[in-house]
Amino acid sequence: MPFSLLRRGRNERDEAVSAFLSEVRSNVRLIATSLTRISELKSRFGLYEEELKSQLEITVSELKNLRELLEERKTILNGLDGDSYNAVKVMEAYSIISESEGVSFVDENADRILRAARWCDGNLTKALKNLRESER
């Protein structure tokens, strides 16, 4: 097989991985933003209780969307290495638990989930940067 065809196949695979990682990172950033808003609302005790409940429900929904995205593309996820893989799996675990436990789990663990989301975002950003550099 000519080198150009091999290169094109690799580029298409890299583009698919890059698109997937970008989509996962986007979802993780939405979750982080939502969790940050929850922290802000909690600091204003009682003033925004309805908005807090709504934001918690939104976060549970966003975590569910992330889990569904990861389920759709398990093969790409399994191709990740080290910290990127672990960070995504931690977010997946939080999404599974939040789907089972609901709003109360997210409310009680918002700080932990936010920390994991930021860690995941950082690792995915590094992975995307490395992937783009390898394409050059």
For the chain, list the domains and their CATH numbers. 3-135 (1.20.120)
User: If the chain, 136 residues long, is cut into consecutive pieces of 10 residues, what is the mean pLDDT of each piece?
Assistant: 42 81 97 96 81 96 97 84 93 97 97 98 94 75
pLDDT for the residue numbered 23: 96
pTM of this structure: 0.85
What beta strand segments (E) does 89-134 contain? Answer: none
What does the DSSP assignment read for 34-101?
A: HHHHHHHHHHTTTTTHHHHHHHHHHHHHHHHHHHHHHHHTHHHHHT--HHHHHHHHHHHHHHHHHHHH
